[in-house]
Amino acid sequence: MAKYELKLDGAEVDEITLNKHGDKIKISGDDAALFDKFANGYDKIAKMADEMPGKLEAVEETSKEFTDRDSDISRAVAMSRVRVEFCEKAIGIIDDIFGEGTAKKSFWDYYETIPDFLPDEDLFIAFFETMTPIMEDIFDRKLKRQEKASKARMAKYQPQDHKRKQK
């Protein structure tokens, strides 16, 4: 009986440092789902951000008829809940893309000072604006590796290999 060993070496894993303490995430362009997760996560956060003014306006409309102090506080609390909901979902989206704890590690300087800190919308936008060029670079390198590997495979099959033998 023959024994075989499958060796798939050469994994491309990128480390991204998230904060001054050196916390990192590791990702790979070879992960078939990574680009899809990143693009979908970015789209979800953008859609949620687009919906937020409407949600805040709805809260404002429902509380316009009341003018007493208690309703002002209730309106402020309701508006804050809309923002908190957005931010909590954004943390989940980032952690789903890059791994559990990524959002907290990314904003560690805030958490270090304020343990129950909740990043706001602007910080999530800054996160994605910073991460997008990194992701583009990872996927560009992946495409170049694929192209190079394809050329190497095709080089094995030279046109002369398919010529009829001369008599």
Q: Where is pLDDT greater, at 32 or 91? A: 91
- pLDDT attached to residue 132: 94
- pLDDT attached to residue 146: 83
For residues 115 and 122, the answer to whether their CB atoms sit within 8 Å is no
Say if residue 161's pLDDT is above 60.
Answer: no
- pLDDT attached to residue 164: 63
Task: Write down the mean pLDDT value for the chain.
Answer: 87
pLDDT in tens, 26-43: 999 889 899 999 999 999
pLDDT in tens, 104-119: 999 999 999 999 999 9
Instruction: Give the model's confidence band at 11: pLDDT under 50 very low, under 70 low, under 90 confident, else very high.
Output: confident
Instruction: Give the model's confidence band at 163: pLDDT under 50 very low, under 70 low, under 90 confident, else very high.
Output: low
In the predicted model, what is the mean pLDDT of residues 130-158? Answer: 86
- pLDDT attached to residue 8: 66
* Cα separation, 140 vs 37, whole angstroms: 17
Contacts by 112-121 with C-beta closer than 8 Å and gap 24+?
118/84, 118/87, 118/88, 118/91, 119/87, 119/90, 119/91, 120/83, 120/87, 121/49, 121/52, 121/83, 121/86, 121/87, 121/90
Range name among 69-73, 98-102, 154-158, 163-167 with the lowest pLDDT average: 163-167
Start-to-end CA distance of the chain, whole Å, equals: 42
Q: Would the pTM count as exceeding 0.85?
A: no
pLDDT in tens, 50-84: 999 999 999 888 777 666 666 778 888 889 999 99
SS3 label, residue 22: coil
Q: Where is pLDDT greater, at 11 or 73? A: 73
